[in-house]
Amino acid sequence: MKLQDKINIRFLKITFLIFLFAGVLFYFALDHVVDYNIKEMLDSRKAYTVLSFRQNSQSFDSISSPDHSIFIKRLDNQREYSFYSDTLVFDQEEKELVPFRKVTFSLNKGNQSYEIIILQSLLESEDLQKVIFSFMAVLFVLIFSALFFLNRWISSRVWDPFFMSLSKLNSWKIGKNQDVRFERTWVSEFDQLNGLLENMMQKIQADFVNLKEFTENASHEIQTPLAVIKSKLEMVLQDKTLTDIQHQRIRVAFESAIRLSKLNEALLLLSKIENQQFLLKEEIDICNLIKTKIDALEELFMLKHIEVSVDFRGPILFSMNPILSEILINNLLSNALKHNFENGRVRISCDNQVITISNTGKQSQIDASKLFLRFSKQTTSGESTGLGLAIANEICKTYDLELKYSYSHELHNLILGKKMKA
Amino acid sequence: MKILVIEDETELCETIVSFLKEEGYRCEQAGTLGLGIEKVNLYEYDCILVDIGLPDGNGLSLIKELKKCHPETGIIIISARNSLDDKVLGLDCGADDYLSKPFHLSELNSRIKSLLRRRKFEGKQELVIDKITIIPENRQVFVGNEPLQLTRKEFDLLMFFVSNRGRVLTKESIAEHLWGDFADSSDSFDFVYSHIKNLRRKLSDKTGTDYFHNVYGSGYTLVTD
């Protein structure tokens, strides 16, 4: 939800509540005033009627009003009373029942008692309420729209520097040596925010560079001694005077040194990917890449008598780093080869922007949650570093790709596709 | 053949130098970029091995300098930084080849030989090993006057052995030479074995001699005597 909408909804809610409360209050106040007025009116008419009744010595017919709002009738017994009540009277002109308020009271003249009813129409007060409600509604709409536009106008002006900072942050990419400068906004909060952001980004940038340098240095520092160990051992292996046992021992040390250096390379590669140090991006035709890689691997598959079937329908383009794309495909194909058995099968299909690499394997179902973890080896084979799929998965994460595992019909499937945007 | 090794890691430098001396090269070493540039300016070399990350500067500047005064010298970059940037930059500057540490000495040997062949003989050199004649430029192999058909990998394998004649080549270095990155695959040693078996058979069928010796189960060596 946008900031603007959030503010507007708050405004709407609050103005609505205020108007509701004010409307109710206003209604009761007016009702009270109108009520009081009508009572006053009835009282004054009552007083007038009583006066003219007493002065007039003739019959009571003479004080009947022209609008039929006063009724007089004789009473048999003598009583004293006076009360107010509401009633509905049929109006001849409007052809409907109209609310009235009436005062009923008794009056004695001589020995005769009379009951007098005076009616007063309530129609006017009802009209008044209607007018008030519609007026309130119109006022509500007017005030709200005024607030809405005012708020919009203010927001676009006041929040302008904020949105500028936001777009700068959006375009900022770590590792690309950009110098981020925020302009002075003359709003202290924004200036403070921008200052903090600037410091933070510089710090992140510096840390990133440090880390990168460390990775490179570590690589350099570890690889060189390893190179020494390896080459020295290699030279010792050339020595023809060695006994079998000596040869065997050196051989084991040599193999371990090789494994160590491969492990180191793989770990460094992982951290490089995590640090997003592969910045170059190109459109890579994955199907094409797979084809070339299969050609290179053809004999490795043939020697193991693995049947490779390929089914490509249309090109699949991923925007990614060319080296990483090669590593990704290398690792996936190596995986299909490594964990396969003699006379096995590998099936590769590219369809609907999804690549599926399926292979027969020595094991049945593998725990998918552990498959992409580092050093999670399914076999105890000393040759496997246990990092191949972790690297593949890390590459996928970098480029919003998804690598999934499934097992069906005795085939292990690795499914590579673009991540669905949620 | 004179080779200069510019490498700051003394141990590694000495290992390389002693290895190359065994191979019959005349070898000199330089531990710093400054010393390297000095030597390059004073003497002529057939080939130079240069580390890119040197303590007193980047090896790339030496390559640029060398290209100006001795453009005919072959250059092989050795670098611990297994990054494409270095590789591309180095090759752009005029280096002939790139090896990332750690490498097998046999691989280095094969690269130097192939480079010198290209540089010195414009590739037109014929290699004669006992009854076998190899023309590297055309990737052709003859036994006597009869051509011998080899697959791409078998030819690469033969060249690797010929470059490292008499040395024990480990299974690892062979696998890496043939498949590069794919050498990780645990099965690659089986493939090395089966390739060697095929090559061995093809050669012994024609020549009647078995040139390959198996060494303690750890590697192979090409023996001609």
Tell me which chain A residues have a C-beta less than 8 angstroms from the C-beta of B190.
303-304
**pLDDT value of residue A289:** 87
Contact, B165 vs B224, CB < 8 A?
Answer: yes
Band of residue B48 on the pLDDT scale cut at 50, 70, 90 = very high
CB atoms within 10 A of CB B202: 18
Q: Which helix (H) or strand (E) holds A214?
A: helix A188-237
Whether the ω angle into residue B102 lies within 30 degrees of 0, i.e. cis, is yes
String of DSSP letters for A145-157: HHHHHHHHHHHHH
CB–CB of B185 and A255 under 8 A? no
Q: What is the CATH number of domain B2-120?
A: 3.40.50.2300
Instruction: Give the residue on A whose Cα is nearest the Cα of B181.
Output: A330
CB–CB of B187 and A251 under 8 A? no
Domain ranges in chain A are 3-153, 191-274, 282-418
How far is B41 from A264, CA to CA, in rounded Å? 37
pLDDT tens-place string over residues A295-317 = 877 877 887 888 888 888 878 88
**pLDDT value of residue A67:** 63
A402 contacts: CB under 8 Å, gap ≥ 6: A396, A415, A416, A417, A418, A419, A420
**pLDDT value of residue B166:** 82
- With both helix axes pointing from N to C terminus, report the angle between A286-303 and B188-207 in degrees, rounded to the nearest 10: 60
Q: Would the pLDDT of A173 be above 80?
A: no
pLDDT tens-place string over residues B87-101 = 778 888 888 888 887
CB–CB of B80 and A237 under 8 A? no
Distance from CA of A362 to the nearest CA of B (A): 14
The stretch A145-171 carries a mean pLDDT of 84
* For testing contact with chain B, the best of A213, A216, A226, A238 (most B CBs within 10 A): A238
CB–CB of A230 and B102 under 8 A? yes
Where do the DSSP E strands lie in B80-170? Answer: 97-100, 127-129, 132-135, 140-143, 146-147, 169-170
B168 DSSP assignment: P
Contact, B62 vs B34, CB < 8 A?
Answer: no
User: Which ipTM score applies to this complex?
Assistant: 0.73
Band of residue A81 on the pLDDT scale cut at 50, 70, 90 = confident
CB atoms within 10 A of CB A127: 10
**pLDDT value of residue A345:** 86
Instruction: Give the residue on B whose Cα is nearest the Cα of A238.
Output: B168
How far is B181 from A269, CA to CA, in rounded Å? 13
Residue B173's Cβ-count burial label (10 Å; 0-12, 13-18, 19+) is: buried
Residue B118's Cβ-count burial label (10 Å; 0-12, 13-18, 19+) is: middle
User: Which tokens go with A278?
Assistant: 């592969």
How far is B5 from B48, CA to CA, in rounded Å? 6
CB–CB of A255 and B19 under 8 A? no
In chain B, CATH 1.10.10.10 covers 127-222
CB–CB of B186 and A381 under 8 A? yes
Beta bridge partners, A415, equal A356, A404
Beta strands across the sheet bearing B2-6:
B26-30, B2-6, B47-51, B74-79, B97-100
More confident of the two residues B115 and A129: B115
Phi, psi angles (nearest 5°) of residue B24? 95, 15
CB–CB of B15 and A238 under 8 A? no
Overall fold of domain B127-222: Arc Repressor Mutant, subunit A (1.10.10)
Contacts 24+ apart (CB under 8 A), A128-134: A128/A30, A128/A34, A129/A27, A129/A30, A129/A31, A132/A23, A132/A26, A132/A27, A132/A30, A133/A23, A133/A27
* For testing contact with chain A, the best of B10, B13, B14, B15 (most A CBs within 10 A): B15
User: Which tokens go with A86?
Assistant: 């509401």
The stretch B139-147 carries a mean pLDDT of 85
The stretch A389-409 carries a mean pLDDT of 85
Q: For residue B190, give the nearest of A262, A303, A327 by CB distance.
A: A303
Q: State the number of CA atoms in the 13 A half-sphere of B176 facing the CB.
A: 18
Three-state SS for A320? Answer: strand
Q: State the number of CA atoms in the 13 A half-sphere of B146 facing the CB.
A: 9
**pLDDT value of residue A103:** 86
Contacts 24+ apart (CB under 8 A), A395-398: A395/A273, A395/A320, A395/A324, A395/A325, A395/A327, A395/A328, A396/A328, A398/A273, A398/A276, A398/A278, A398/A320, A398/A324
Contact, B126 vs B135, CB < 8 A?
Answer: yes
How far is residue A314 CA from its own chain's centroid?
A: 35
* For testing contact with chain B, the best of A221, A224, A302 (most B CBs within 10 A): A224
Band of residue B111 on the pLDDT scale cut at 50, 70, 90 = very high
Distance from CA of B123 to the nearest CA of A (A): 25
Distance from CA of A255 to the nearest CA of B (A): 8
CB–CB of B53 and A323 under 8 A? no
Residue with tokens 């590069």: B180
**pLDDT value of residue B83:** 61
Contact, B3 vs B48, CB < 8 A?
Answer: yes
**pLDDT value of residue B5:** 92
The stretch B4-18 carries a mean pLDDT of 88
In chain B, CATH 3.40.50.2300 covers 2-120
Tell me which chain A residues have a C-beta less than 8 angstroms from the C-beta of B99.
none
Residues on chain B bordering chain A, Cβ-to-Cβ distance under 8 angstroms? 9, 11-12, 15-16, 18-19, 53, 80-82, 84, 101-106, 153, 167-168, 170, 172-173, 179, 181-182, 184-188, 190-191, 194, 216, 218-219
Q: Would the pLDDT of A68 be above 70?
A: no
Contact, B48 vs B28, CB < 8 A?
Answer: no
Band of residue A54 on the pLDDT scale cut at 50, 70, 90 = confident
Q: Would the pLDDT of B209 be above 70?
A: yes
Residues, chain A, total? 422
User: Which tokens go with B222?
Assistant: 């090409």
Q: Would the pLDDT of B79 be above 60?
A: yes
What percent of chain B shows pLDDT beyond 90?
Answer: 8
Distance from CA of B182 to the nearest CA of A (A): 7
Residues on chain A bordering chain B, Cβ-to-Cβ distance under 8 angstroms? 216, 219-220, 223-228, 230-232, 234-235, 237-238, 244, 247-248, 251, 254-255, 258, 261-262, 265, 268, 296-297, 299-300, 303-304, 323, 327, 330, 334, 337-338, 381-385, 388
Instruction: Give the residue on B whose Cα is nearest the Cα of A331.
Output: B182
Rg (CA), chain A: 47
Q: In terms of Cα–Cα distance, which of A125, A114, A119, A115 is closest to A87?
A: A119
Q: What is the CATH number of domain A282-418?
A: 3.30.565.10
